[in-house]
Structure 1
Amino acid sequence: MIEANEVQVRFKTKTGFADAVRSATFHVGEGEVFGLVGESGSGKSTVLRALTGLVPISNGSMRIGRHTLGKHIDRAFRREVQMVFQDPYGSLYPRFTVDQTLREPLTINGMDRHDARILDALREVGLGPAFRFRYAHQLSGGQRQRVAIARALIVEPRVLLLDEPTSALDVSVQAEILNLLRRLHRERHLTMILVSHNMAVVGFLCQRVAVMRDGEIVEQLPIEAVREQNVAHEYTRSLLLATEGYRRKAIDPA
């Protein structure tokens, strides 16, 4: 479903050019959940934005389904590929109600049965009709992210790109959103790419993972290898150690 070959993303800076992504190559099968992990600034979110056409690539190639990314991206691509951003408040227009937020993509794509689709979308993400005419500031962080997921899914995409969808949420709410995404993947047979810095989050949802550092993919491995900590690269080991968190050392009172 997704192919990226020797992808390079370069940004112009005051002192010259900076390569945010260098020679990134990976593929994602149809119906697969693929993870991109790494610390902040490693280039994983840039890869996701390049896949949507929000960031142009300076070298290499990207393909999603029958669409090859280039200067012109047609409307069919925009409907088939949807993205959920990290900040659920920043990604929702504050002057729109939930109803307006979900109705706009239906109007843009010329889809019918707006009211029925909106109610179905809210129900699918665990929100009832009572949320339909609320504004973003009247919702909790988890509810906002559910609306953002509903907005992405309401146009019936084949590919869902997730840019750290739980990092801005409390731990208990993170679990709810991850369970929701797992159920939606199973029911809709979606192809997903999940960007995260947390190996535990990736291990819960993904089947394969690519580890990024300084704009490069340093290792790709099945999720079973991550769970068993059977990794080859030292940087991947350090990410796994960071996921375990701080362990207090016991002091012998004697």
Structure 2
Amino acid sequence: MIDVERALIRFRTKTGHVDAVRDVSLRVAEGEVFGLVGESGSGKSTLLRALAGLVPLAGGDMRIGSDAAQHGPRRDVQIVFQDPYGALHPRFTVDRTLREPLAINGIGDQDARILDALAEVGLGPAFRFRYPHQLSGGQRQRVSIARSLIVEPRVLLLDEPTSALDVSVQAEILNLLRRLHRERKLTMLLVSHNLAVIGFLCQRIAVMRNGEIVEQLDVEAVRSRNVAQEYTRRLLLATEGYTRESGARLEREQGA
């Protein structure tokens, strides 16, 4: 469903240019949940935005299904952003937020679709005419997910969809995404710096560093810590949190 061949994404700077993504290739099968993991600035969100048509390629090729990825939004590829507070227009009700993509894409039966979309993400009709400031962070992210799904995409791109939420709310959103994947048979590409989140949802992952993919592996290899790159091991260690044992292990590795 997703085929990326030697993608290059370049941004101009005052002194020349910077290559945010360099020579990246990956393939995601139809119905698969694929994870992109790496520290901040590794290029994973930039790659996701290119697949969504928000950032142009400077080189290489991207294809969604049988179609070349195009610059500009497309109905069959939708994205859920990291910040549920910034992703929704503050002066739009939930109803208007969900109605807008239907109008843009010429989709009818809007009232019924809006109610169905809210129900699908666990929000009742009482939320329909609320504004973002009247919603919690988790409820805002549910609305963002509903907005992406209401046009019935084939591919859902998820840019750190839980990192701005409380831990208990993160679990709710992850369980929602797992259910939606199962019921809709969506192809999902999930960006995260947290390998625990990736391990919960994904079948395969690619590890990015400095704009390049350094390793691709099955999620079972992550769970068993059967990884080839030292950088991936350090990401696993960071995911554990700072415990006495992990801290001592990091000190030993740094001293080696």
1:192 aligned onto 2:188: yes
1:99 aligns with 2:95: yes
Aligned position for 1:149: 145
The aligned amino acid for 1:217 is I
1:118 to 98, 114, 118: 114
Distance between the aligned counterparts of 2:15 and 2:103, measured in 1?
44
Alignment of 1:186-225 (within 5 A): 186-225=182-221
Moved over 6 A (4+): none
CA distance in 1, matches of 2:244, 2:52: 43
Partner residue of 1:48?
A: 48
Provide the residue aligned with 2:65 in structure 1.
Answer: 65
Following the alignment from structure 1 to structure 2, what is the Cα–Cα distance between the partners of residues 84 and 104? 16
Give the distance between the partners of 1:108 and 1:246, measured in 2 at CA.
47
1:158, CA displacement in angstroms? 0.5
Measure how far apart 1:70 and its partner are.
4.2
Residues 1:26 and 2:26 are matched in the alignment: yes
Consecutive unaligned residues in structure 1, runs of 5 or more: none
Q: State which of 78, 87, 103 in structure 1 corresponds to 2:83.
A: 87
Q: Which residue of 1 aligns with 2:228?
A: 232
Equivalence for 2:13: 13
Give the TM-score normalised by structure 1.
Answer: 0.95
**TM-score, normalisation: structure 2:** 0.94
Identity among equivalent positions (%) equals 76
Distance 2:167 2:225 in 1: 23
Give CA deviations for 1:175-208 in whole Å, capped at 9, x if unaligned.
0000000000000000000000000000000000
Q: Distance in 2 between matches of 1:100 and 1:151?
A: 10
Structure 2 counterparts to residues 150-189 of structure 1, below 5 A: 150-189=146-185
Tell me the distance in 2 between the aligned counterparts of 1:17 and 1:175.
39
SS at match of 2:7: strand
Alpha-carbon offset, residue 69 of structure 1: 2.2
- Using the TM superposition, give the Cα deviation of residue 53 of structure 1 relative to its aligned residue in structure 2, in angstroms: 1.3
The residue type equivalent to 1:188 in the other structure is: R
**Residues paired across the two proteins, number:** 246
- Following the alignment from structure 2 to structure 1, what is the Cα–Cα distance between the partners of residues 220 and 244? 28
Q: Cα RMSD over matched residues?
A: 1.2
Given that 2:53 and 2:74 are in contact with CA atoms closer than 8 Å, whether structure 1 keeps it comes out as: no
Q: Quote the Cα distance in structure 1 between the aligned partners of 2:105 and 2:19.
A: 35
CA offset at residue 10 of structure 1? 0.7
Select 1:241's aligned residue among 219, 226, 237: 237
Which whole-Å deviations, capped at 9, do the CAs of 1:66-100 have from their partners, x for residues lacking one? 220245x5xxx711000000001111001100000
Post-superposition CA distance 1:80-136 (Å, at most 9, x none) = 000000001111001100000000111111111111100000000000001000000
Quick one: distance in 2 between partners of 1:85 and 1:226? Answer: 25
Where structure 2 has 5 or more consecutive residues not aligned to the other structure, the ranges are 248-256
Structure 1 CA distance for aligned equivalents of residues 76 and 142 of structure 2: 19
